[in-house]
Amino acid sequence: MAYIYYNPNPANRVAGDCTIRAISKITGDSWDDTYLDIALKGFIVKDMMSANYTWERYLHDIGFEKTLLPQCPYCYTVRSFCYDHPYGEYILGTGSHVVAVINGDYYDAWDSGNEIPLYYWKRKET
């Protein structure tokens, strides 16, 4: 279970685009394509692309399911989630940050391992 630096932002920026970074990692799409897809979803649902409703609707529409995590303030971190989920691809939401997890490793532009996840998204089984 490890932190792996990941920043596909073409301008190498690290603020405000965590959702785009995480979703692009999980879907395998470029940062640009992910940005445009979510911006279009925001236009369709008439909300800002940064709104949870917008990007969560996007994930739902491409086949992901949301699962809430048990609430335990300060005791269950991104790092803990990775330890408990050594296989699979997940998008974790903390309420203020989004991070990609693949096979127990978390991918981000900074070490977010101590953040507290509230929920995760996983692609539906087919």
CATH of the domain at 89: 3.90.70
For residue 113, give Cα distances in angstroms to 87, 103, 126: 17, 15, 30
Q: How many CB atoms lie within 10 A of CB 104?
A: 17
Q: What is the pTM of this model?
A: 0.94
Q: Give tens-digit pLDDT for 20-49.
A: 999 999 999 999 999 999 999 999 999 999
Average pLDDT, the chain: 95
Strand intervals (E) in the chain: 3-5, 64-68, 89-93, 98-102, 105-108, 119-123
Distance CA 76, CA 42 (A): 31
- Domain with 69 in it: 3-123
Coil/strand/helix, residue 105: strand
Q: Is the per-residue pLDDT at 1 higher than 90?
A: no
CA quadruple 57, 61, 62, 65: dihedral sign: positive
Q: Is the per-residue pLDDT at 126 higher than 70?
A: no
Number of domains in the chain: 1
Average pLDDT on 49-59 reads: 95
Distance CA 101, CA 37 (A): 21
